[in-house]
Amino acid sequence: MDLGIKGRKAIICASSRGLGKGCAMALGQAGVSLVLNGRDRSVLEATAEEIRRVTSVAVTPVAADISTPEGQAAVLAVCPDPDILINNNGGPPHRDFRALERASILDGVTMNMVTPIELIQKVLDNMSAQRFGRIVNITSISVKMPVAGLDLSSGARAGLTAFVAGIARTVADRNVTINNLLPGYFDTDRLRGSLRLAAQSSGSSEETIAAQRAAQVPAKRFGSAAEFGQTCAFLCSVHAGYITGQSILMDGGLYPSTF
């Protein structure tokens, strides 16, 4: 399917690995020029090179912490007027809520709520003026379903979801959409890290824990960053202009609900 976005410009935050990288690759395959971001410069450069080889689109890597005002400014300096913004960031570490200090609570809220809001503030009016814009916030299944030890992630991302719900309606008539994409279990470095931790604390092998975790999912497998990216690219396409203000689960059926 031609997504109709060839020649558009996208900023994909936190995209040197994992789900962000999957989104960048899929948008690149649709002919969108890309601004990639991550903190580790060498990993970021390697990903930029990989995407250039596969897609031949322009790829500009910006090594910066997207949670900081300086990091956001560095990304926007190379692309002040993106047509597409994918909001993504690291997630808070797994932790019992009793162990969260005030500073770490505020850090989590900054990463997963304040940062995407600040970036939306900076790009939305231009998208409205040009009558095309697509914003996708990568949030989490934890917005809908508690995940033990990820209460801060759930809270901050639910706050973001509520915050943008009203804003999405104010720009819908300008062909600007804002949606949230909610991953369940996707096979990325982050998931592998949590499997390793669970293996260490339980005494089981990482493979056993992974098999147990995947067995909880009706699809009986983890998702891939590539399929996540393709769904994100569709939400950014011309065909998805009538989808806005939605929270779209990609979880292989894990969240057990009728609606």
Ligand X SMILES: NC(=O)c1ccc[n+]([C@@H]2O[C@H](COP(=O)([O-])OP(=O)(O)OC[C@H]3O[C@@H](n4cnc5c(N)ncnc54)[C@H](OP(=O)(O)O)[C@@H]3O)[C@@H](O)[C@H]2O)c1
Q: What is the CA radius of gyration of the chain?
A: 18
Nearer to ligand X, 60 or 175 (CB): 60
- CB-wise, 10 or 191, nearer to ligand X? 191
Please list, in sequence order, all residues whose beta carbon lies within 8 angstroms of the beta carbon of residue 67, skipping any fewer than 6 positions away: 89, 107, 110, 111, 115
Instruction: Verify binding: residue 91, ligand X, rule CB under 6 A.
Output: yes
Among 19, 26, 51, 143, binds ligand X (CB under 6 A): 19
Assess 3 for contact with ligand X (CB under 6 A).
Answer: no
CB of 129 to ligand X, least distance (A): 28
251 contributes a contact to ligand X by CB under 6 A: no
The partner residues of 249 in beta bridges, in order of sequence, read 182
CB of 193 to ligand X, least distance (A): 7
Cα–Cα distance between 113 and 13 in angstroms, integer? Answer: 14
SS3 (DSSP) at 189: helix
Of the candidates 10, 12, 16, 120, which one interacts with ligand X according to CB under 6 A?
16
- One residue of 17, 154, 155, 178 binding ligand X per CB under 6 A: 17
Query: CB under 8 Å to 126, separation ≥6 — which residues?
Result: 80, 81, 133
Strands of 247-250's sheet in order across: 59-63, 33-38, 9-12, 84-87, 133-138, 176-183, 247-250
Q: Which residues bind ligand X (CB under 6 A)?
A: 14-20, 37-40, 43, 65-67, 88-91, 138, 140-141, 153, 183, 185-186, 188-191
